[in-house]
C-alpha cells in the first residue's frame, strides 16, 4: 500500500478524532504531537480504505503492508517507527474503548533503526576551543567585550555540563547565580534536574555575571541579545561557535552545540562514570538514548587497537623463514 501524497487532507475519520481527543484530554499531549498523530493516522486510515479495510477490520498483515509501502516510497525508518507508534496507540485505544475486539498492531515489529554514532571532538580539541574563547574575552574591549565574554561563558558551561542548547540558552541570570556547585535545569517534558558545575566553569560564570552587572545589563536572560526574544538564538550561537572553532584551528563543519554535549558524555564514560549518572546529567528519559555513547567508546577503542596494537592487521607477525 502507498501512503497518500495529497496536500489537502479530508476531514479526519471519526475514530481518529476521538483518539486525538483522548490524547489531548487524558494524556496532555502537546498541540504539535496531536497534529503529527492526526497526519500519520489519516494517512494510515486512507491506505486501509484503498485496500478495502477499516480500523475495525485491519489485520496485522494490513499494518505490515502499510509499513512496506512507506519503505518503498523511500521514507526513513525513523518515520516508519513514528507512524507505527501512532498506529499502535490508536489500535490499543480502539480495543480499550470496545470499537474492536482485537489489537492487530501489538505484534508488529518495529523497523530496525540504523545507528548513527555522534561526532565527538577530542579533549584537546575542546580545550583549544575553550582556551581560544578565554583569550578573546580577556583581550576584547568596548562593544566586542560583551559578545566575547558571553561566548566564553556559553562554551565553558556547555563543555562542562552537556546541557541541551535550548536548556543552555533558556537559562536566566538568577539560575546562574542561585547555586555555586549546581544548576537547576528544566528539560524536556518539564522535568527538572540538577547538573553539577565544575570549579573552572563556575569561575568563568561568576566573572561573566560580574561583567553583566558592571555593564548595567537589565535583561533577566543569562545570555541576552538584542533580538526580539531578548535572548541569544540557537542559530546565532551555532554560527558564533563555528567561527570560534575555526579560529581555534578546528574545521567549522565538525562543531555544533550538540557535538560539545556529546563530548561531555563521552568524557564522563571514558573516566568511569556510571551510565545511570550520565543519563541523569544529560536529562535522558530512556537510558537507551545514553547507551549510544558506549558504542562511541567501543568504536574508538576498536580504532585504537587497529592503529596501535602490534598484532592488529598483521602487525608484528613472525616472518616466514
Instruction: Please indicate whether residue 319 is annotated as part of the active site.
Output: no
Catalytic-labelled residue, pool 39, 147, 258, 267? 258
Q: Please state, in angstroms and rounded to a whole number, the distance separating the CA atoms of residues 144 and 136.
A: 9
CB-count exposure of residue 227 (10 Å: 0-12, 13-18, 19+): exposed
Taking residue 76's Cβ as centre, other Cβ atoms within 10 Å add up to: 13
Q: Please state, in angstroms and rounded to a whole number, the distance separating the CA atoms of residues 21 and 27.
A: 10
Cα–Cα nearest to 222, from 266, 163, 267, 143: 163
Q: Does residue 264 contact residue 290 with C-beta atoms inside 8 Å?
A: no
Catalytic-labelled residue, pool 82, 267, 284, 300? 284
- DSSP assignments along 160-224, one per residue: HH---HHHHHT-BHHHHHH-SSEEEEE-GGG-EEEEE--HHHHHHHHHHHHHHHHHT---SBSSB
Instruction: Please indicate whether residue 88 is annotated as part of the active site.
Output: no
Taking residue 84's Cβ as centre, other Cβ atoms within 10 Å add up to: 22
Strand partners, 193: 185
Q: Please state, in angstroms and rounded to a whole number, the distance separating the CA atoms of residues 270 and 294.
A: 9
- DSSP assignments along 14-41, one per residue: HHHHHHHHHHHHHS---HHHHHHHHHHH
Catalytic-labelled residue, pool 164, 173, 202, 262? 164
Instruction: Please indicate whether residue 284 is annotated as part of the active site.
Output: yes
Q: Does residue 209 contact residue 215 with C-beta atoms inside 8 Å?
A: no
Q: Which residues contact 60 (CB under 8 A, 6 or more apart)?
A: 104, 105, 107, 108
Catalytic-labelled residue, pool 27, 131, 188, 295? 188
Catalytic-labelled residue, pool 62, 83, 150, 261? 261
Instruction: Please indicate whether residue 242 is annotated as part of the active site.
Output: no
Catalytic residues: 164, 188, 258, 261, 284, 293
Amino acid at each position: 500500500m502507498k501512503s497518500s501524497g495529497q496536500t489537502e487532507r479530508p476531514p479526519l475519520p471519526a475514530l481518529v478524532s476521538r483518539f486525538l481527543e483522548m490524547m489531548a484530554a487524558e494524556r496532555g499531549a502537546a498541540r504539535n504531537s496531536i497534529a503529527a498523530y492526526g497526519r500519520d493516522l489519516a494517512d494510515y486510515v486512507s491506505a486501509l480504505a484503498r485496500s478495502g479495510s477499516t480500523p475495525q477490520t485491519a489485520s496485522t498483515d494490513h499494518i505490515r503492508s502499510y509499513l512496506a509501502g512507506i519503505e518503498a516510497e523511500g521514507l526513513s525508518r525513523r518515520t516508519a517507527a513514528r507512524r507505527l507508534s501512532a498506529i499502535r496507540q490508536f489500535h490499543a485505544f480502539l480495543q480499550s474503548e470496545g470499537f474492536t475486539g482485537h489489537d492487530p498492531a501489538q505484534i508488529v515489529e518495529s523497523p530496525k533503526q540504523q545507528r548513527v554514532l555522534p561526532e565527538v571532538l577530542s579533549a584537546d580539541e575542546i580545550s583549544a576551543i575553550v582556551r581560544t574563547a578565554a583569550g578573546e574575552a580577556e583581550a576584547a574591549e568596548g562593544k566586542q567585550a560583551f559578545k566575547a565574554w558571553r561566548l566564553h561563558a556559553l562554551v565553558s558551561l556547555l563543555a562542562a555540563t552537556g546541557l541541551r542548547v535550548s536548556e543552555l540558552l533558556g537559562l536566566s541570570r538568577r539560575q546562574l547565580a542561585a547555586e555555586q556547585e549546581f544548576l537547576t535545569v528544566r528539560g524536556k517534558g518539564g522535568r527538572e534536574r540538577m547538573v553539577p558545575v565544575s570549579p573552572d566553569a563556575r569561575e568563568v560564570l561568576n566573572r561573566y555575571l560580574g561583567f553583566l552587572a558592571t555593564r548595567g545589563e537589565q535583561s533577566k536572560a543569562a545570555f541576552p541579545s538584542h533580538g526580539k526574544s531578548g535572548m541569544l538564538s540557537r542559530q546565532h550561537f551555532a554560527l558564533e561557535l563555528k567561527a570560534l572553532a575555526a579560529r581555534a584551528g578546528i574545521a567549522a563543519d565538525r562543531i555544533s552545540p550538540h557535538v560539545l554535549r556529546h563530548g561531555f558524555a563521552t568524557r564522563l564514560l571514558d573516566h568511569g562514570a556510571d551510565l545511570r549518572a550520565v543519563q541523569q546529567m544529560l536529562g535522558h528519559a530512556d537510558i537507551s538514548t545514553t547507551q549510544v555513547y558506549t558504542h562511541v567508546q567501543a568504536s574508538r577503542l576498536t580504532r585504537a587497537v587497529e592503529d596501535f596494537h602490534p598484532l592488529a592487521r598483521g602487525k608484528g607477525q613472525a616472518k616466514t623463514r
